[in-house]
Amino acid sequence: MKFDDLDAKMRVYERSLDQIIPPENYLLARIDGRSFTRLTKEVCKFEAPFDERFNQMMVETVKGLVADTGMEIVYGYTQSDEISLLFGRDAQVFGRKVRKLNSILAGAASARFSLQVGLPAVFDCRIIPLPNEDLVADYFRWRMEDAHRNCLNSWCYWSLRKEGRNAAKASEELEGKSIAYKNEFLFQRGINFNDLPVWQKRGVGVYWRNYEKVGHNPITGKDVKAIRREVYADYELAKNYVPIDLIK
């Protein structure tokens, strides 16, 4: 069989499971760490419930994905061991093929984080098509609310663990407890939930922004201003922040 004939024959099977996100949908990707509880608590022994070093590694991973992949990503968001990426409204990256987006984003995130932590770390990825701006906004509200709940639960859980409870007992004591109960629980231990760092409660947003840079013109001898572009990490996200300007 001629190569061209064999190539055409096998391409049919290679493409048989291809899925392409229709152009009228927004592209979102969620990237999650695999077995990160073991990595962060047992191998690296990061501070619980939150470790600034780990958070910084996640933020730098997101910044790298936004800045260096050339994939038309307009907004990144991270909380805990997860990353969410929003693509431009008309992004045509990799022909909007799900398998390409999933494999490349998971690989890129894994590589960037592994280089920072100095150990093999693996992420998976799922592509989420959303048909309108309202659902994109709801998605980020959802992930921020998840961050808030995770923060409250983690502080309660690890407070009990540090008081001597094992994992099962700590989880049992918090089962079914209300938000008000958990806030009071922490307050009695000297922790005001409202005073915790915003990045712990709401996550971190990553996006492009313009900034003004002052330089010196050696010919005219005068200072000149220029507009530069940078990938910025926002550690002080407003409550229920949604990147409306970036969605459109």
Q: What is the 3-state secondary structure (H, E, C) of the chain?
A: CCHHHHHHHHHHHHCCCCCECCCCCEEEEEEEECCHHHHHHHHCCCCCCCCHHHHHHHHHHHHHHHHHCCCCEEEEEEECCEEEEEECCCCCHHHHEHHHHHHHHHHHHHHHHHHHHCCCCCEEEEEEEECCHHHHHHHHHHHHHHHHHHHHHHHHHHHHHHCCCCHHHHHHHHCCCCHHHHHHHHHCCCCCHHHCCHHHHHCEEEEEEEEEEEEEECCCCEEEEEEEEEEEEECCCCCCCCCHHHHC
In angstroms, rounded to a whole number, what is the distance separating the alpha carbons of residues 243 and 137? 7
Dump pLDDT digits (tens) for 193-231: 999 999 999 999 999 988 877 776 777 767 777 788 899
Length of the chain: 248
Q: Report the distance separating Cα 221 and Cα 225, nearest Å.
A: 13
232 phi, psi to nearest 5 deg: -110, 135
Q: How many CA atoms lie within 13 A of 246 on its CB side?
A: 23
- Helix pair angle (98-117, 52-68), 10° resolution: 140
Question: Percent of the chain scored above 70 by pLDDT?
Answer: 98
User: With 0-12 CB in 10 A as exposed, 13-18 as middle and 19+ as buried, what is 8?
Assistant: exposed
**12-19 mean pLDDT:** 82
Q: CB-based contacts of 98: which residues, under 8 Å, 6+ apart? A: 18, 19, 20, 21, 127
| 1-8 average pLDDT score | 84
Which tens digit of pLDDT belongs to each residue from 95-153?
999 999 999 999 999 999 999 999 999 999 999 999 999 999 999 999 999 999 999 99
Q: Which is it for strands 123-130 and 82-87: parallel, antiparallel or unpaired?
A: unpaired
Q: Does domain 11-192 have CATH number 3.40.470.10?
A: no
What pLDDT, in 10s, does the model give residues 64-103? 999 987 888 999 999 999 999 999 888 999 999 999 999 9
Taking the domains of the chain in order of start, what are their residue ranges? 11-192
